[in-house]
Amino acid sequence: MIDTSKYIFEHKHGEVDYSRNKIALFEFDSTICIYERVVTESYIFQSQNCVKKLRDLHRDGYFVAIISNKKNVRTENEKKIFRKKITNICKEIDIPMIFIGSLIHSRFHKPTNGMYLYLLSQLTSTKDVVSGLLLLNHSEFQLKGMKLGEIGIIGNSKITSSIDLTNRPEMEIDVPTISRKFDDAFYVGDCVGRLTDYSDFDLKFAKNCGLRFFTPEQYFDNAEMIQYEISEKPIQLHVGNMDLSILKGVRAVFCYGPLYSGMQYFVKRFVDGDAVVFYNLNKVDRIREITKSNEYVCLVFEYDKSVIKQLKNTLHLSEEIHNFKISRYNSNILKEFKNKHNVPFVYDDSLFSEFKKEICKQLL
C-alpha cells in the first residue's frame, strides 16, 4: 500500500455523502478564514456570510470541501493543533464536509490538480474513472520499486500505471472533461495574480481542474463579477540569438546566476562533457589562473524574479531532490572576465520526464 499521509492532511466532518453530483470547493486561508502564518487553534471567518453560504450549499445538494496548501503544518504537534482548529471550524459551520491539505511540495500541491484528483478518487461518480491513475509522483514511484504494470493501492483504488510516466494514450485522463460531468463544480480562492496576491495559484488550480472560479469577495460578499484571466507570459522555445559555437572547444565554463536559474540544466543540454564547469566561483586567484589561456567561456544566467520563481516551483513540485550546493551569486565577480555571455531564458523540456512536463504544463 502506498501511504499518502506524508503528502495529504485529511479531515472528515459528519456523514459525508460522496454520491452528490454537485461540488463546491474552497481555499482555506484568506477565503474561509483569515490567514495566520503561525499554526494556532484560533480562527476568524473571512466573511460574515461564510457560514450561511456553506450551509446553503449543503441544503442545495452540494458536496462541500476545502482544498488548501498547508506546507506550514509540518510537525506532529502542528498537525494536532491544526486538526483541532479544523474540527472546531467544521462544528461551527455544522454541515458534512471534508478538508484536504497538501503538506509538502509535491504533485498534490496547488496549482497542480493532484488534490482534486485525490478527491475524485473518493467521489462515487468519478472514482472508477481515475482508479488507474497513480496520484503520487516520480520519486515515490521509484522509491517503491514499482514498474509500469505493477499494482499499488491508494485508498481503495488499484493503480495499474502512471499518467506521469507513460505516453500510452489510453491512460491519459482529461481532468476538465471529468469536471464537466458534474451538474455543477466550482472553486473559490483568493490568489488570482493581482498586485496584492501572493500568486495566481488558485486561478490556475481552477483552470487545471476545469472548475468555475470565484474570488471570496465575489462568492461571499457579492462583489463585481470580474472575469480573471491567467497572465500568459511569452515563453522562448529556442536559444534565440545566442551563438552556441562559443561553447565548442573550451576547457572551462564559468556559470554565474542565482539558485534555480537553470545553470545545471543548460550545461547538461548544451556544454561538451570534456569541459570543466564552475558554478558561481568567487575565488579571484583561481579565476585568474584558469582564464590566462583564454580557453574558457563565462555564462551569466540573470532572469526576472518571476522566471526564477517559476523554475523553483517546477523543481519543488516535481520533487527533484538535488544535493547541488553552490556559492551565493555575486555579480561583482563578473568584472574579472573580459567577455561575458548572457544566456537568454529558454523553455526547453527535452530532458524532462513526462511527470515534470505535466508539472510545467500546469504551472505555466
| pLDDT tens digits, one per residue of 293-334 | 889 999 999 998 888 888 888 888 887 766 678 899 999 999
Between residues 351 and 189, the one the model is more confident about: 189
Handedness of CA 98, 102, 107, 113 (dihedral sign): positive
- The verdict on 289 and 185 lying in the same domain is no
Ordered DSSP codes for 101-135: EE-SSSTTSTTSSHHHHHHHTTSTTTTTTSTTB--
Residue 1 lies in a domain: no
Residue 63's domain spans which residues? 8-126+170-221
**For residue 257, pLDDT beyond 50:** yes
Residue 265 lies in a domain: yes
Helix (H) or strand (E) holding 53: helix 50-59
pLDDT band for position 128 (cuts 50, 70, 90): confident
- The verdict on 201 and 271 lying in the same domain is no
pLDDT given at position 222 = 84
Residue 106 lies in a domain: yes
pLDDT given at position 356 = 80
Residue 93 lies in a domain: yes
Q: What is the pLDDT of residues 54-113, one digit of tens each?
A: 999 999 999 999 999 999 898 999 999 999 999 999 999 999 999 999 999 888 899 999
User: What CA–CA distance (Å, rounded) separates 43 from 137?
Assistant: 33
The long-range contacts involving 88-94, CB below 8 angstroms and separated by at least 24 positions, are 88/41, 88/43, 89/32, 89/33, 89/43, 90/11, 90/13, 90/14, 91/13, 92/51, 93/50, 93/51, 93/54, 93/55, 94/51, 94/55
- The verdict on 324 and 206 lying in the same domain is no
- The verdict on 209 and 279 lying in the same domain is no
Question: Mean pLDDT, to the nearest integer, of 31-50?
Answer: 93
Check which CATH number belongs to the domain holding 94 and give it. Answer: 3.40.50.1000
Helix (H) or strand (E) holding 212: strand 212-214
- The verdict on 278 and 181 lying in the same domain is no
- The verdict on 179 and 297 lying in the same domain is no
**For residue 249, pLDDT beyond 50:** yes
Question: Mean pLDDT, to the nearest integer, of 170-178?
Answer: 71
Amino acid at 64: V
pLDDT given at position 351 = 84
pLDDT given at position 23 = 98
User: What CA–CA distance (Å, rounded) separates 41 from 81?
Assistant: 6
The torsion region of residue 258 among left (phi > 0), alpha (psi -120 to 50) and beta comes to beta
Grid cell 529558454 in the structure block, residue: 346
- The verdict on 180 and 287 lying in the same domain is no
Residue 148 lies in a domain: no
pLDDT given at position 244 = 86
Between residues 146 and 222, the one the model is more confident about: 222
Count of other CB atoms within 10 angstroms of residue 357: 14
- Work out whether strand 22-26 and strand 8-13 pair parallel, antiparallel, or are unpaired: unpaired
Amino acid at 138: H
- Work out whether strand 252-256 and strand 276-279 pair parallel, antiparallel, or are unpaired: parallel
Instruction: Evaluate if pTM is beyond 0.75.
Output: yes
pLDDT given at position 362 = 86
- The verdict on 71 and 184 lying in the same domain is yes
Within 8 A by CB and 6+ apart from 111, the residues are 200, 201, 202, 204, 205, 208, 362, 363
Between residues 173 and 119, the one the model is more confident about: 119
pLDDT given at position 152 = 39
The structural domain count of the chain equals: 2
